[in-house]
C-alpha cells in the first residue's frame, strides 16, 4: 500500500534520511521507534509529501507521490495525518474543524458532513464537544478531535506523528484507546511513537530508526525481545 524506495531527505547539507526502503501492506499497523533526531518524523512526513523528497521514490497504491505529474492533493485525501501539536484550527468550533475538509474537498453536503462529524465525535468519545472551541478542550480531547478530523476524509491510511508526546501522562491512554479501536477496524496505520507499550501491543511490524537509517525491522516480539542490532539493543535498554 505504501512503498518507499531509496528515500533520501536532506535539509541543506544535513542528510536526515539516508536511503530508506520499506513496504507497508494493507491493514498493517507499523510503529516507528527510535531516538530523537533519527528521522522518524521526517520519514512519516515524506510519505504525504509534507517534506519535499530529495531522492528516491514513494508510492501510495501504486501512484508515485513525488512525481511532478501527480496531484498531491488527491493522494492526501486518502492519507490522514495526526500531528504531535494537534494543529486544530483554533478559530473554528470542533464540528467545523471536522466538516471543513469533507465540505471543501470532497464537496460533501453540509448536512451529510455534520452527520459524519457527529458519528466520528461519538467514536472518539466527544459527542458533547461539537460546539466547543479547541481552546476549551484538554490536550487529550484536542488530539481525539484531530483524529476525528483526519478520519472525516475517510482515508485509507493514517499517519500518526508522535500523537501522544505533547500530552500530560494521564491523557495518553484516551488517545491510544482511540488508535487501538481504529487499528481493530482494519485501518492501515503508520505510527511514530515513544509509547513502547502501544508498539508492542498493537504493532504488526516495528521499525527502529537511527541516524537516518532503518536499522531494524520485525514483529514487536522480534524487535523488543530479541533485537539483533547493537544500536537497537542500546536504545531499548534505555527506554524499557
Partner 1 sequence: MDFLDIRWDMWGIIWNYRELFIRGIGITVSLTLISYLLGLILGLFVGMGKLSKRKWIYYPCKYYVDFFRGTPLLVQILLIHTALIPGIFGHSLGYFTSGVIALSLNSAAYNAEIIRAGIQSIEKGQMEAARSLGMTTVIAMKNIILPQAFRRMVPPLGNELIALLKDSSLLMVIAANDILFAGKVVAGATLRFWEPYIMVAILYLCLTFILGKVISYVERRFSNSYIPMQRRSLLFFSLRRS
CB nearer to partner 1: pick between 18 and 93: 93
How far is 95 from 146, CA to CA, in rounded Å? 11
Q: Which residue has the cell 499517519?
A: 159
Based on CB atoms, which residue is closest to partner 1, 80 or 203?
80
Interacting residues toward partner 1 by CB under 8 A: 48, 50, 73-74, 76-77, 79-81, 83, 85, 87-92, 96, 99-101, 103-105, 133, 136, 146, 149-150, 153
> Which residues are within 8 A (CB) of 9 and not within 5 positions of it... i.e. 6 or more apart?
15, 16, 17, 39, 42, 43, 46, 51, 52, 53, 54
How far apart are CB 141 and partner 1 at their closest, in Å?
16
Give the shortest CB-44-to-partner 1 separation in angstroms. 11
For the bound state, the minimum distance from the C-beta of residue 69 to partner 1, rounded and expressed in Å, comes to 16
Q: What angle in degrees, to the nearest 10, is found between the helix axes of 110-123 and 94-104?
A: 130
Nearest Cα to Cα of residue 120 among 143, 97, 152: 152
In the complex, least distance from residue 80 CB atom to partner 1, rounded to whole angstroms:
7
Nearest distance in Å: CB 130, partner 1: 13
Closer to partner 1 by Cβ: residue 79 or 120: 79
Q: For residues 126 and 5, what is the distance between their CA atoms, to the nearest angstrom?
A: 39
- The pair phi, psi for residue 158, each rounded to 5°, is -120, 130
Q: Which is nearer to partner 1, 69 or 91 (CB)?
A: 91
Cβ closer to partner 1: 83 or 224?
83
Decide whether 8 or 105 has the Cβ nearer to partner 1: 105
Angle, vertex CA 24, rays to CA 21 and CA 30, nearest 5: 100
Residue written as grid cell 542528510:
15
DSSP 212-230: TEEEEEE-HHHHHHS--SH
Shortest distance in whole angstroms from residue 49 CB to partner 1: 9
Amino acid at each position: 500500500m505504501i512503498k518507499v524506495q531509496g528515500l533520501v531527505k536532506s535539509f541543506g547539507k544535513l542528510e536526515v534520511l539516508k536511503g530508506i526502503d520499506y513496504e507497508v501492506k494493507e491493514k498493517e499497523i507499523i510503529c516507528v521507534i527510535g531516538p530523537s533526531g533519527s528521522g522518524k518524523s521526517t520519514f512519516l512526513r515524506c510519505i504525504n509529501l509534507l517534506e519535499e523528497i530529495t531522492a528516491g521514490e514513494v508510492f501510495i497504491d501504486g501512484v508515485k507521490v513525488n512525481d511532478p505529474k501527480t496531484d498531491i492533493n488527491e493522494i492526501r485525501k486518502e492519507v490522514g495525518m495526526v500531528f504531535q501539536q494537534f494543529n486544530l484550527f483554533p478559530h473554528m468550533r470542533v464540528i467545523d474543524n471536522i466538516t471543513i475538509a469533507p465540505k471543501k474537498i470532497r464537496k460533501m453536503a453540509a448536512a451529510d458532513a455534520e452527520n459524519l462529524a457527529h458519528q466520528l465525535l461519538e467514536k472518539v468519545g466527544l459527542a458533547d464537544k461539537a460546539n466547543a472551541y479547541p481552546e476549551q478542550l484538554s490536550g487529550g480531547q484536542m488530539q481525539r478531535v484531530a483524529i476525528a478530523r483526519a478520519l472525516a476524509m475517510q482515508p485509507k491510511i493514517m499517519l500518526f506523528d508522535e500523537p501522544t508526546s505533547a500530552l500530560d501522562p494521564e491523557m495518553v491512554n484516551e488517545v491510544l484507546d482511540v488508535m487501538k479501536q481504529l487499528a481493530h477496524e482494519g485501518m492501515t496505520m503508520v505510527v511514530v511513537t515513544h509509547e513502547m507499550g502501544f508498539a508492542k501491543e498493537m504493532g504488526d511490524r516495528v521499525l527502529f530508526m537511527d541516524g537516518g537509517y532503518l536499522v531494524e525491522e520485525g514483529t514487536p516480539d522480534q524487535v523488543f525481545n530479541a533485537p539483533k542490532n547493537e544500536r537497537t539493543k542500546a536504545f531499548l535498554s534505555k527506554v524499557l
